[in-house]
Structure 1
Amino acid sequence: MLLTPEDKDAPTRVRRLRRLGLGERAEPAFDAFADRLAEVAAVPYSMVNFIDEKRQFFAGLHTPGGAGSGARLITAATADGGTRGFGRHLTRDYGFCPHVVVRRKALVLEDVCDYPRFAGNPVVDEIGIRSYLGAPLIDRTGIALGTVCVVDVEPRPWGRAGLETIKSMASELVAQLERREAHGP
């Protein structure tokens, strides 16, 4: 089964991201947005994620303990008893955000293990993600630049309220990006 969807819009998205100066570096404003998103959703992890042809970049990141400004995203145990940090980059094969960008609509996974297409994703086995809620960042040109998302290590009933919250937060961030484009950073 194809875990990562084909993304025909990636080259156009990459050009748009570069024009906007997004997807290359972490920014305090995006970390603050991720912190607020985590607080609103009461989750341990949240991200502002921009996606190119090969990878995802968490320009905004919240992890337990306020590690939004830190280098580690989620730490997973390795076979030798050590740990592995994924930092602010993930390949497109990891996670659920690439699906949101290609679908161009929100994705609600209360328990990823209930969905065969998503249960086999590396973030489930390697990181322990059990629930996901994400919405696309569709800008004024119609391009899905990335996502805002929240994840938990426990199954989570997001419900209609969770879906409306993530969509509202995505719209808020898109408005900020449009203001930034119009007036500069």
Structure 2
Amino acid sequence: MTLTDREQQRLQALAESGLLEKDNVPVFNEAAQLVANFLEIPICIASVMDRDWQWIKAEVGWSDLEQIQSLSTVRQIKRSECFCAYAIENEQVLAIRDTTTHPIFAHRLFVGHYGIRAYLGVPLISSNGYCLGTIAVMDLAPREFRPKEIEFVELTARWCMAELERFQPIGSTLPPPKRTEPAPLPLPLPSSLPATGFSIERLKVELIAQLMQELRTPLTSVMGMTSVLSREIYGPLRRKQKEYLKIIHDSGQYLLSLVEEILALRELPSGGAPLSLTSVDVEMLCQQVLKTLEPVANRREQQIHVTVEPVHRIWLLDKGKVQQLLYHLMFRVIQVAEGGCVIRVHVSRKGDNLNIGIWVSHPWLGDNLPETELEACGIAMGSTSLSADTDPDDSSGFPEEASSIDVWERVKDSAIDRSRERLGLLLSCQLAQMHSGKISIQGGPRSGYRYVISLPEKR
């Protein structure tokens, strides 16, 4: 399916929702007020996007801007000028600390005319996968949006869609949107079944996917409402009530992350499918994976920190495959690492390769991979260094490529361990190989060991 086809289906779902015709959407009004108050930010809008215009359905502070001189400007913005178009087209969060320094958005009308200096936009995605609009917040001064603030806006967006779809899913008459990748080959049809085009196995896969989608909606509602209740909007809470609400919220968030993982795996094409290369902002991709894994890390009292060297952030990649690669490798490191540590992810360029290093920082064990992880890859802690010293000119701290070991070669033949973590590691290795890259372990006893994903630049 081409991007044009996907956009046409999105517009059909938007028309079916009836949101374009509504001047007042109560759930959007409540969401805008809630987000503006929680983030203590002057501007918040909830909007939908048609082919040419962004239609604002609820706002806080937007109409108070001195530059807003007409009612039409309050309610509609040209799509080519708004920031929200990027969040909708990519179906992911867009956070900009300082719009005046952003290479893409610095010259937009929002910056020069309206004076918007910071922006955070979260897509509004229906249960059937159609992105209809955004909830966005804006500030008139540069602002770093904290992970908890982004998470709250994401939860509010999901709650909004769950409320809108309480009685009827939006886009239910349309086929679910697909990635712009070749469709998988049809599964063989057993001779005992009529020629309907589906096998029992394929029907089971599709049914599980639908059940996962249905599970996501009530989970989102539970998380959204527990978040609202915990802020004591409807009255004060006792200490025990707050503890129980936090447990419910955190458990729901963890369950939702598992649902998202299952759905993402279903979308992953077979190994024979060609790469679907697009321009990807690597930092934003890492942050997106971080958000997905935060509930898992929080359960182990861990943190995830992402750093990016000041090099080209835009790379030509298969976004879906690299996202899954990062997810499963980071998940493995989270599971084998000690509680209370920091999982570090560092993005750099090494020659023509994109390098992503992943390791653990512990308050008294230092920077390294856990000993059990090294032993699983055949590295004894008392062994000689793979590369005891790092290149002094290499600011990433990654050892020389020639001194690394290929993880795939060390773990592919181990048939004993069938755990989720090992299967995820094997999947990550194969996804890297599909990109003509690899996952290696680099370092030594003195400098510490780390996983390094190395993907060659595509031209």
The TM-score with structure 2 as length reference comes to 0.34
Query: Aligned equivalents of 1:143 and 1:180: distance in 2?
Result: 17
Query: Aligned equivalents of 2:31 and 2:10: distance in 1?
Result: 22
Which residue of structure 2 lines up, in the alignment, with residue 15 of structure 1?
A: 12
Give the ranges of 4+ consecutive aligned residues of structure 1 lying more than 4 Å apart after TM superposition.
none
The answer as to 2:23 corresponding to 1:26 is yes
Unaligned stretches of 5+ residues in structure 2: 170-459
Q: Give the 3-state SS of the residue equivalent to 1:117 in structure 2.
A: coil
Aligned-partner residue type, residue 35 of structure 1? Q
Query: Aligned equivalents of 1:106 and 1:23: distance in 2?
Result: 23
Query: Deviations 1:70-110 (Å, cap 9, x if unpaired)?
Result: xx36431xxxxxx6342110110222100000010001111
Q: Give the 3-state SS of the residue equivalent to 2:132 in structure 1.
A: strand
- Aligned-residue offset at 1:32: 2.5
The answer as to 2:167 corresponding to 1:169 is no
The TM-score with structure 1 as length reference comes to 0.81
Query: Deviations 1:31-86 (Å, cap 9, x if unpaired)?
Result: 2321121111111111111000000001111117xxxxxxx36431xxxxxx6342
The answer as to 2:67 corresponding to 1:62 is no
The answer as to 2:103 corresponding to 1:105 is no
Query: Aligned equivalents of 2:16 and 2:64: distance in 1?
Result: 26
Unaligned stretches of 5+ residues in structure 1: 1-6, 65-71, 77-82
Identity of aligned residues (%): 27
Which residue of structure 1 lines up, in the alignment, with residue 129 of structure 2?
A: 142
Query: Aligned equivalents of 2:76 and 2:167: distance in 1?
Result: 23
One of 69, 74, 98 as aligned partner of 1:84 = 69
The 8 Å contact of residues 73 and 88 in structure 1, kept in 2 or not, is answered as no
Q: Give the 3-state SS of the residue equivalent to 1:34 in structure 2.
A: helix
Query: Aligned equivalents of 1:63 and 1:139: distance in 2?
Result: 26
The 8 Å contact of residues 73 and 87 in structure 1, kept in 2 or not, is answered as no
The 8 Å contact of residues 31 and 156 in structure 2, kept in 1 or not, is answered as no
Which residue of structure 2 lines up, in the alignment, with residue 69 of structure 1?
A: none
The answer as to 2:168 corresponding to 1:181 is yes
Which residue of structure 2 lines up, in the alignment, with residue 75 of structure 1?
A: 66
Q: CA RMSD in A?
A: 1.8
One of 80, 86, 98 as aligned partner of 1:93 = 80
The 8 Å contact of residues 49 and 57 in structure 1, kept in 2 or not, is answered as yes
Q: Which has the larger radius of gyration?
A: 2
Change (3 A) 1:74 1:14: farther
- Aligned-residue offset at 1:28: 4.9
- Aligned-residue offset at 1:114: 2.2
Change (3 A) 1:75 1:181: farther
Query: Aligned equivalents of 2:65 and 2:21: distance in 1?
Result: 20
Query: Aligned equivalents of 1:50 and 1:73: distance in 2?
Result: 20
Query: Deviations 1:116-165 (Å, cap 9, x if unpaired)?
Result: 10111111001000000111111111111111111111111112122212
Which moved further from structure 2: 163-172 or 8-17? Answer: 8-17
The answer as to 2:123 corresponding to 1:126 is no
Q: Which protein has greater RCO, CA pairs closer than 8 Å, 6+ apart?
A: 1
Aligned-partner residue type, residue 51 of structure 1? M
- Aligned-residue offset at 1:113: 1.5
Query: Aligned equivalents of 2:55 and 2:66: distance in 1?
Result: 17
Aligned-partner residue type, residue 44 of structure 2? S
Change (3 A) 1:165 1:16: same
- Aligned-residue offset at 1:169: 1.3
